[in-house]
Amino acid sequence: MTARLSATSPLPEAVTAPGYAPQAHGMGIVHIGLGAFHKAHQAAYTEDALAAAGGDWRIFGVSLRSPDPAAELTPQEGRYTLIERGAEGTSARVIGAIARAACLADARAEITAALADPATRIVSLTVTEKGYGIDRATGGIDRSHPAIAHDLAHPDAPQGVAGLLVQALAARRAAGIPAFTVLCCDNLPENGPMLRGWLTDFARAAAPDLADHIATEVAFPATMVDRITPARTDATLELARQLTGLEDAAAVETETFRQWVIEDHFPTGRPAWEAGGAIFAADVRPFEDMKLRMLNGAHSMLAYAGFLAGHEFVRDVMGDAALARLVARHLEAAAATLAPLDGVDFAAYATALTTRFANPHLAHATYQIAMDGTEKLPQRILAPALLAQAQGQPLDAFAFATAAWMRYTLGRHDDGTAYALRDPREAMLTKAVSGADGAEAVAGALFALPGLVPAALAQDATFRTAVITRLDRMLRDGMPAAIAAEAA
């Protein structure tokens, strides 16, 4: 029987072990959202920071709902194999930065205590766009979000990010302990300031005394995070077994590329993340815009079009010449909406993205990226479309991406096979399009949904026509033909 990975496992020479003694370092970060992306990104940077500069910065990884991450990591004393895959080959390292892992439902008292502990100086977050409960129209809380509704009603037993943070910040303030820094690592525009406004709004409703403290004294540095990390599959675990000779239930596969741009505002200190290549910038927004509109925007477009054209993985999309041309067109259109950024060549960034998307070793499912469209479209597709419209630039790429998403909301392939939308607003979408017959009716129903497509686009005849014409082609001729016509 193969032995299970642990802190004392001997590792083959080709596998990199932690370059420091993990147990000699205390915890300084509570991370909420213990998924593959955190393990491939922030934990890897923290690993490099610990090896280069030390400090009590190990991570307490928390999942809000799923017991799986802790069940996988705990028997391995937090260790896991990070498999990095690029054209240049595959390499593996064992990460020691996660000291402890727990699920809120099983370890509430311990998690609450860690959040209130003076040793915890940073609370970082990767709960995905839909995890917070942000009303995008106002930037405040969405009271219909299940976690927000629950936490307002049960402030002493919160289940969501807002309730946990406010409870912990209140306890720290009452005990005279400085607030931790809140570090949002999700793909949201201006994620730091956005989170500050949102949490302040929650506090106004749940703990009014705390609202000013959050608005003015708690640090919310903005970040741009990037590393393409597909969901783990059995193949990942098998690869980890081959590379390490060990059983590892928590292994993660990712690309070799990684990027992290962070606003350097950490009043209670931070790890030396620059040791891992993190860039500290005074203004993260231009990097965030570039990444959201180019990488994530192209990702969403190719996910809807690719999934409906029968491409399972992003690398298959890049092997479809017509669709690859549309990816290039999308990247160019998105880049045209950006203000120039010193030292960054958007054309070179676009070329690098096409190489990353084509990575033959990454099985990144189009269906995975297609998830949660209503949470992703605003910053990825609709915001740049608005800018392109205002600047008199062509809208074709954005109209095609919007039409592909609309086609996806119908929940069935051209041959009638059904699939789940996997969107927090699935019920609303399904209701809107049910009974809508033809492109004009479907687009009309989706354009009319509250709080999704900005009025300036939804009511613009040029954009509407551009979307409807494309959706009509997708519905009549099928996605492959629509792609071919678009790329011609």
Which residue, 48 or 129, is less far from ligand CS2 as judged by CB?
Answer: 129
At closest approach, how far in Å is the CB of 350 from ligand CS2?
Answer: 15
What string marks each residue from 179 to 208 as x (binds ligand CS2 by CB under 6 A) or -? --------x---------------------
> Residue ranges of the alpha helices (H) in 15-160?
36-40, 42-53, 68-73, 108-116, 146-153
Site for ligand CS2 contains 166 (CB under 6 A): no
> Residue ranges of the alpha helices (H) in 92-207?
108-116, 146-153, 161-174, 191-206
Site for ligand CS2 contains 227 (CB under 6 A): yes
Which residue, 381 or 471, is less far from ligand CS2 as judged by CB?
Answer: 381
Q: Binding to ligand CS2 (CB under 6 A): which residues in 96-155?
A: none
Site for ligand CS2 contains 228 (CB under 6 A): yes
Site for ligand CS2 contains 236 (CB under 6 A): no
Residue of 437, 379, 370 whose CA lies nearest to 409: 370
Q: According to CB under 6 A, which one of 172, 299, 425, 473 is a site residue for ligand CS2?
A: 299
Number of Cβ within a 10 Å radius of residue 458: 18
Which residue, 232 or 376, is less far from ligand CS2 as judged by CB?
Answer: 376
Helix, strand, coil: what percent of the chain each, to 5?
A: 50, 15, 35
Which residue, 181 or 366, is less far from ligand CS2 as judged by CB?
Answer: 366
Number of residues that bind ligand CS2 (CB under 6 A): 9
- The interface region with ligand CS2, picked from 26-34, 99-107, 224-232, 405-413 by CB under 6 A, is 224-232
Beta strands in 357-408 (DSSP E): none
Which residue, 187 or 409, is less far from ligand CS2 as judged by CB?
Answer: 187
461, 465, 467, 471: CA torsion to nearest 10: 150
Helices 321-335 and 346-357: crossing angle in degrees, nearest 10, is 150
Structure tokens at 282: 């005074």
Site for ligand CS2 contains 430 (CB under 6 A): no
Query: DSSP readout, 101-116?
Result: EEETTT-HHHHHHHHH
Which residue, 201 or 226, is less far from ligand CS2 as judged by CB?
Answer: 226
Site for ligand CS2 contains 356 (CB under 6 A): no
Q: Binding to ligand CS2 (CB under 6 A): which residues in 365-384?
A: 368-369, 376
Residue of 405, 390, 408, 380 whose CA lies nearest to 460: 390
Q: What amino acid occupies position 171?
A: A
What string marks each residue from 11 to 40 as x (binds ligand CS2 by CB under 6 A) or -? ------------------------------
List the helix and strand counts (H, then E) for the chain: 23, 12
Name the site residues for ligand CS2 (rule: CB under 6 A).
187, 226-228, 296, 299, 368-369, 376
